[in-house]
Structure 1
Amino acid sequence: MVAQRRAPTLEEVAELAGVSRATVSRVVNGSSRVSPEAQAAVNAAIAQLGYVPNRAARSLVTRRTDTLVLIVHERPDTVFSDPFFASVLRGVNQALSPTDLQLVLLQAQGEAQRDRALRYVGNGHVDGVLLISLHGDDIMPTAISAAGVPLVMAGRLLTGGPLDYVDADNVGGARDAVRYLIAAGRRRLATVAGPGDMSVGVDRLRGYREAVREAGDQASAGRVAVGDFTEESGRRATTQLLADHPDLDAVFAASDLMALGALRALREAGRRVPEDVAVVGFDDAALAAYADPPLTTIRQPVELMGQEMVRLLLARIADPYADPTEVVLPTELVVRASA
């Protein structure tokens, strides 16, 4: 049996570098109170010995955990079926890959999970929080901020408030989608809107209404059914719209999954897409190009949103007292066969 090689110690690094143990500790923990010569000697010794700093000991000095948490405020079935969340997570991982930071994923659906997540954050387990999919006047942002933990959100707070967030141009994207439908000759539009307790739902409905009213179409502004960003909710909402407005000739759905549900409802009702009813979604998830017919949609840079959230969070950790930053990323119309 081959004996396992013992990990080098801080003392051995100090001896090889010809400096004190305290100097090695300062270099490892990023202190500026070390001469360039001593820092170079310590780094050379670390490389030669293959020394790996003890994370727990380091955290006692720096009060850092080198851990971020991504809290998703949605049901498990939504998180694992909606491509939006996977894309955000890819962006977050891409931004973290050059760093030594770890990522923890927590769900906070319901009061018990929310309270457990808040205890985890408040007990000093993480250096910062990425928060996704907030509903209504949830207390999480306020509670996290009150605990002094840096926070960045995906999407703005409905209630406003001075917090860092990253979002897509939901109003402008929805407006572009509807303007495209109107320019294509559609005159009896309807929308499957997102939840009214989420800023993304509110903003995309606002963009829809602004565009139809801009065209002098007050009637279409009232043709609204609400879904929850799932495919089934899109199917139900479109079925209801067809029952209430059988002459509609276009549907703008506030997410691609709801647009897929709209396509299914139209097919069940014997309506041809796009000949009878045009359909436009929002997201440009990978599944949009493989829909039947392929889905015209609004592309939002979801992976970039995840990357930008990490960038803002690291900046907030470095400077807790900086002014809040709001990043709104542009969207783009992608034309396919559904409209």
Structure 2
Amino acid sequence: MPSNKPRYQQVLEALERSIEAGEWKVGDRLPGELQLAERFGVSYMTVRHAIQHLDSSGLVRRIRGKGVFVADPPEERGTEPLALLLPQDWYSMDPFYFPLIVKGFQAEATLVSRRTVLADQSDRPNRYAGLISQKVAAVACVLLGQPDVHGMHQLLDQGVPVVAINKHPGARRIPTVAPDNFGGSYRATRYLMELGHRDLLFLAGPRDSIDAQERRKGFLEAIRRHGAPGTRHRVLEGGFVEESGLERGRLLAKKTPLPTAVVSASDVSAIGFIRALAEAGL
């Protein structure tokens, strides 16, 4: 599938063409993810990413335990859709975090009888023009990686309501919903010390990430306020991806003494870290 477009988007467009051409009709079950992955020469995760977009658009519907089926044409509701903008390659960035955001967004939209549109932040000028042409009622944008904050402000200037998920220094005009990064890290660290741990390790995240910065501050502040005499702490720099946790775990496994407790700035990097310790028999 030679193209400059992301692979999931190529699969998405190929599936749309096949459905429009009548290869699968309303009510037909699509082939399984592994079959489609073999057909398009991609991973099953790429296929799953594409199908999630089709499900969001209403072209297919997923029935738990049965599969994915071509849906009836969406009814005209007389209401504009709600759009969710995600980072480019969001599914490969974090296959746990982003699907939960998508699921929650779609569930809330259903409660107010709104269709949803999922889009990523690639091909940015055309992407925003497309959202405006679809007359979306509002846009929620996940500000992670390198978000196009300028594009968000353009939507605001066009009269489209926009809300950001996560903080970004350039998005001060945009209403924001964000997790309590500082408080979560602070409470986790304090809890471990209340259990008696006196040698703690923090798996840090990217230095240019506001989330990572706040989680680091929460860890260090908990150590400062609640650390008993003799409490030791270390910080291992790294990223939010599983490979980063794996590398740091392998590095730590060669050193002594080992910490008695670990606080991680990312669940995905924590998975890699745990894998490394298991490899070392720890």
TM-score normalised per structure 2: 0.63
* Matching residue of 1:120: 130
- Which of 195, 204, 212 aligns to 1:184? It is 195
Match status 1:102 vs 2:115: yes
SS of the aligned residue for 2:118 comes to strand
In structure 2, the CA distance between the partners of 1:144 and 1:193, relative to structure 1 (3 Å rule), is farther
User: What's the CA shift for 1:245?
Assistant: 6.6
Once the two structures are superposed, the pairs formed by residues 161-310 of structure 1 within 5 Å of their partners are 161-216=172-227, 220=233, 222-228=234-240, 230-242=241-253, 246-271=257-282
Q: Distance in 1 between matches of 2:98 and 2:147?
A: 21
Question: 1:70 Cα deviation (Å)?
Answer: 0.6
- Relative distance call for 1:74 and 1:211 in structure 2 (3 A) is farther
User: Does the alignment pair 1:129 with 2:139?
Assistant: yes
Alignment of 1:1-150 (within 5 A): 66-78=80-92, 82-108=95-121, 112-123=122-133, 125-135=135-145, 138-139=148-149, 140-150=151-161
1:121 to 1:200, Cα distance in 2 relative to 1, 3 A: same
The alpha-carbon distance between structure 1 residues 143 and 245, as it changes in their structure 2 partners (threshold 3 A), is farther
- Cα distance change, pair 197–231 in 1 and its aligned pair in 2 (3 A): same
Unmatched 5+ stretches in structure 1: 1-52, 59-64, 272-339
Q: Is the 8 A contact 2:199 2:231 kept in 1?
A: no
- Counterpart of 1:91, as a letter, is G
TM-fit CA distance, 1:124: 5.4
8 Å contact kept, 1:239–1:266: yes
The percentage of counterpart residues that share the same residue type is 29
- Amino acid corresponding to residue 136 of structure 2 in structure 1: V
**1:234-253 deviation digits (Å, cap 9, x = unpaired):** 21233334457753222111
Secondary structure of 1:69's counterpart equals strand
1:52-72 deviation digits (Å, cap 9, x = unpaired)? x966xx6xxxxxx61121110
Alpha-carbon offset, residue 134 of structure 1: 2.4
Bigger relative CO (Cα 8 Å, ≥ 6 apart): 1
Verify the 8 A CA contact 2:83 2:116 in the aligned structure 1.
yes
**Structure 2 unaligned runs (5+)?**
1-74
Q: Distance in 2 between matches of 1:91 and 1:233?
A: 28
Q: CA RMSD in A?
A: 2.9
Cα separation, partners in 2 of 1:157 and 1:250, compared to 1, 3 Å: same
SS at match of 1:168: coil
Q: 1:233 to 1:209 in 2, by over 3 A?
A: same
Aligned residues: 206
> Aligned partner of 2:274: which letter?
L
Runs of 4+ in 1 over 6 A off after TM superposition: none
Aligned mates of 2:212, 2:256 — CA distance in 1: 22
Distance 1:84 1:146, change over 3 A: same
Contact 2:189 2:219 in 1 (8 A): yes
- Contact 2:91/2:98 (8 A) holds in 1: no
